Chains A and B, each alone.
Chain A
Amino acid sequence: MRFVLALIASLLFSASAFAVQPGEVLKDPALEKRAREISTGLRCLVCQNQSIDDSDAQLAKDLRLLVRERLVAGDTDDEVENFLVQRYGEFVLLKPSFGTHTLLLWLTPALVLVLGGMGAYAALRRRPQPTAAALDDGEREALETLLKHDQST
């Protein structure tokens, strides 16, 4: 199904896939590393599910420069993110924040695991465990006879 993605992608970015251009890279490697890390978590708003780190769109380039600008100005990672969220809305974050509107999204994995586990456990408990079947009267008599026979010899 990737080819359909490609189809969509081809419509959306029509420059060569290169993303971060040589001219954008910051001199300070530590700062650049932070910029790249922040970039991978930010959505290129006009693209189909691409981070600004991966995208060639002009907007992505502008955002990459903006991120670097804020970092150079001394913002922390969180401050940069907040700045962008204020400007572009939560849509810009590839990992949505935890809140009432994303409660179900964030809790589903844990809920499915816990409820599923409890369900499986209950189903297992409800069924009889493999135990030896009880003896009926005839068998018990036969057993007693055998035991007596054993003792008497």
Chain B
Amino acid sequence: MVVEAGHFALALALGLSLIQFLVPLWGARANDPVLMAVGPTSALAVFACISFSFLALTFAYLNSDFSVLNVVQNSHSAKPLIYKISGVWGNHEGSMLLWVLILALFGAVVAISRNSIPMRLQANTLAVQAAVTIAFLLFILTTSNPFTRVVPAALEGQDLNPLLQDPGLAIHPPLLYIGYVGFSISFAFACAALIDGRIDAVWARIVRPWTLGSWTFLTLGIAMGSYWAYYELGWGGWWFWDPVENASLMPWLAGTALVHSTVVMEKRDALKVWTILLAILTFSLSLLGTFLVRSGVLTSVHSFAVDPERGTFILGILILFIGGSLALFAWRAPMLKQGGLFAPVSREGALVVNNLFLATACATVLIGTLYPLALEVLTAEKISVGAPFFNFTFLPLIVPLLLLLPLGQTLAWKRGNFLGTAQRLYAVFGISLLATIVLFAATYGGPVAAPLGIGLGLYLVLGSINEIATRAWAKGTPLSVAWRKARGLPRSAWGTALAHAGVGLTVIGIAATAWGVEAIGSLKIGERLKGGDYEVRLERVIPRVEANYREEAAVLTVFSSGRELGTLETMKRLYVTRGMPTTEAGILTVGLGQVYASIGDTQPDGSVGVRLYHKPLVLLIWIGSLVMAIGGGISLTDRRLRIGAPVPAKAVPPHAVPAE
């Protein structure tokens, strides 16, 4: 009953989104406030319906209602509660439902922030948002209905994929989707501005928190996924340049560019046309990612051709929205007035360079991901594009960008002085260079990439500290005054500095992986394996039986130069229902590094295969991402950006405008 109600609510949401699409659009054309006011109301109604639908599916999962096909395929009565909940989005149909739920949630938030958004802009934005909702609701209802019943009902479910039965993966999809789908709002605002033919700094101010918020969540989502892959897949890698990862990296790169270009637009009323285009492209890449992952085209071009229903549908959505919005752009963008002049050497100029490099990096990932597919379709020739290609092409694009970053963030708006700016960074540059040389000398004969990368990361971290310090402190200022000034700096300045320092930390973490050591051996109980400065001893192997899996756990004691550091436990599991084995890596954190072990097959002589890694500073990769996200979050709390705060553009006194 609840399940049918959920299905019905989804159909109702489709009808309501049709209203949310047509009426406000007409209202904005006719300049009729009554019609425009239908937008927010219907957006809230759509959100209510989809929420109900989502809860209905969750209800079916919680009750292990095995008369619902989706629950049968992805749940099991003996599954822990948290995975019963996360099972809702751990499959195709449910994850699409989560997708539209978040879409509707964002629509609802735009609807309730009615005071801060001009009415026409809001009406058009909600209409565009509704168009996206309609497309995806149609997709779910016609090809991916999560509420399909099975008759007769099954006695037991087939369990959720064991790899997904993990706390990290329980929250990874929601985080990622909030990021992905959040860019739909920037997209909707961009289309609304094009429909209206008007765009100004107010627009940028309204859109910026949305972009920044989505970016923050996407950053967290990607970092979470990367950490999960690191500890769950058991290979010790943290980024594989897999097409599925690239699908989330592309919107992130474009979104990062967008976050920066909206700053220019808000502060200086420049780069309008480019910002609009970027907002369209960013969401287009989110859609492309959804297509790549959801259509099965990645597994093989042939599997896509065999069961093309879903893939073709999303491809249709993709073409409709990307094509439609780009056509709208081509038609209306020339009417937008350019404003805000600036010299090439200026903060604006630096941000243009930032956008150029990020866009190129994004294009590189895009071509690397799609090229093999296109080549196979066109010429039947099969090639692989994997990690070695991406490392080779991506790094030369990112390193110059990072080298320029501290300079750019220090340059003045409008017209900067390159030499003067470089002077302010002498100390930062000197210390980083010195650190690189010292590290290089200390690890002479080791990999060169590590000291170079760490120097670069340090340069970014110090550059950010320098940025805050020079703005708060000048020669002769007492420290107490400087501290007060630093605290008085706008939140967005702190956010920027933190996010950039986070990039630096991540770079240090990545660079230090070059120092990682690996050892492989087969151990009997009591035997030892040495990897670099660390050594493990196999203590015992314990068989266990849990509710939905059996496992063999190997307990290893970790030593460093004879001293015992602790123990770690690594498991080999067999999930009974699916008959699927998984590994759980055993990890012992030592400072910012980790000792990481996984076990393999038992050898004929009774010994166990053990793979041991020491990964120095590896945690910095994810700590850095977290710091980036915190930076984004702090920037969001900046006075100017608070959603819903009615701030007319003129009410902001000029001295409160920070030079970010």
A interface, CB within 8 angstroms of B: 1-10, 14-23, 25, 40-41, 43, 48-51, 54, 89-96, 101-102, 104-106, 108-109, 112-113, 116-117, 120-121, 124, 127-130
Contact residues in B for A3 (Cβ distance below 8 Å): 90, 161, 163-164, 169, 172-173, 225
> A51-B386, A109-B360 given as contacts; is B299 within 8 A of A17 (CB)?
no
Q: Measured between alpha carbons, how far is A10 from B237 in the docked complex, in Å?
A: 17
Q: B393 at interface (Cβ–Cβ under 8 A)? A: yes
Kindly report which residue of chain A lies nearest to residue B235, judged by CB atoms: A54
> A22-B603, A22-B609, A51-B387 given as contacts; is B244 within 8 A of A116 (CB)?
no
Q: B546 at interface (Cβ–Cβ under 8 A)? A: no
Q: Measured between alpha carbons, how far is A51 from B520 in the docked complex, in Å?
A: 18
Nearest Cβ in chain B — how far from A50, in angstroms? 8
Tell me the residues in window 145-201 of chain B with beta carbons closer than 8 Å to chain A beta carbons.
161-164, 169, 172-173, 176
Contact residues in B for A40 (Cβ distance below 8 Å): 387-388
1/0 per residue, CB under 8 A from A, across B271-284: the answer is: 00000000000000
> A3-B164, A6-B164, A130-B343 given as contacts; is B388 within 8 A of A95 (CB)?
yes
Q: B528 at interface (Cβ–Cβ under 8 A)? A: no
- Are A1 and B225 touching (Cβ within 8 A)? yes
- Are B601 and A6 touching (Cβ within 8 A)? no
Q: Which of A5, A14, A49, A104 contacts B386 (CB 8 A)?
A: A49
Q: Which of B229, B242, B248, B367 contacts A108 (CB 8 A)?
A: B367
- Are B344 and A124 touching (Cβ within 8 A)? yes
Q: Measured between alpha carbons, how far is A54 from B234 in the docked complex, in Å?
A: 9
> 25 A-B Cβ contacts within 8 A?
A2-B225, A2-B229, A2-B245, A3-B163, A3-B173, A4-B244, A8-B299, A17-B582, A21-B609, A49-B242, A49-B384, A90-B381, A93-B384, A94-B389, A95-B388, A102-B371, A104-B371, A105-B368, A105-B371, A113-B360, A120-B356, A124-B344, A127-B341, A129-B343, A130-B415
Q: 20 extra interchain contacts, Cβ-Cβ under 8 A, other than A6-B169, A92-B384?
A: A1-B247, A5-B244, A6-B163, A10-B161, A10-B163, A16-B581, A17-B234, A18-B598, A18-B601, A19-B235, A20-B520, A22-B520, A23-B603, A48-B298, A90-B382, A96-B389, A102-B383, A106-B393, A109-B360, A116-B356
Instruction: Give 10 nearest A-B pairs by CB, closest first.
Output: A94-B386, A18-B600, A95-B388, A17-B234, A2-B225, A6-B163, A5-B244, A22-B522, A108-B367, A91-B382
- Are B600 and A96 touching (Cβ within 8 A)? no
- Are B383 and A49 touching (Cβ within 8 A)? no
Nearest Cβ in chain A — how far from B224, in angstroms? 9
- Are B384 and A109 touching (Cβ within 8 A)? no
- Are A2 and B299 touching (Cβ within 8 A)? no
Contact residues in B for A121 (Cβ distance below 8 Å): 344
> A93-B384, A113-B397 given as contacts; is B163 within 8 A of A9 (CB)?
yes
Contact residues in B for A18 (Cβ distance below 8 Å): 234, 583, 598-601, 609, 611
> A89-B382, A127-B338 given as contacts; is B161 within 8 A of A49 (CB)?
no
- Are B386 and A43 touching (Cβ within 8 A)? yes
Contact residues in A for B356 (Cβ distance below 8 Å): 113, 116-117, 120
Nearest Cβ in chain B — how far from A87, in angstroms? 14
Q: B107 at interface (Cβ–Cβ under 8 A)? A: no
Nearest Cβ in chain B — how far from A12, in angstroms? 9
Contact residues in B for A6 (Cβ distance below 8 Å): 161, 163-164, 169, 232-233
Nearest Cβ in chain A — how far from B521, in angstroms? 5
- Are B173 and A96 touching (Cβ within 8 A)? no
Contact residues in A for B176 (Cβ distance below 8 Å): 1
Q: B392 at interface (Cβ–Cβ under 8 A)? A: yes
Q: Which of B169, B384, B520, B581 contacts A91 (CB 8 A)?
A: B384
- Are A17 and B601 touching (Cβ within 8 A)? no
Kindly report which residue of chain A lies nearest to residue B289, judged by CB atoms: A1
- Are A17 and B598 touching (Cβ within 8 A)? yes
Contact residues in B for A14 (Cβ distance below 8 Å): 580-581
Contact residues in A for B414 (Cβ distance below 8 Å): 130
Q: Measured between alpha carbons, how far is A47 from B433 in the docked complex, in Å?
A: 43
Q: B525 at interface (Cβ–Cβ under 8 A)? A: no
- Are A2 and B172 touching (Cβ within 8 A)? yes
- Are A2 and B360 touching (Cβ within 8 A)? no
Kindly report which residue of chain B lies nearest to residue A93, judged by CB atoms: B384
Q: Which of B162, B343, B359 contacts A10 (CB 8 A)?
A: B162
Contact residues in B for A113 (Cβ distance below 8 Å): 356-357, 360, 397
Interface core residue of A4, A89, A117, A130 (most chain B CB under 10 Å):
A4
Kindly report which residue of chain B lies nearest to residue A114, judged by CB atoms: B360
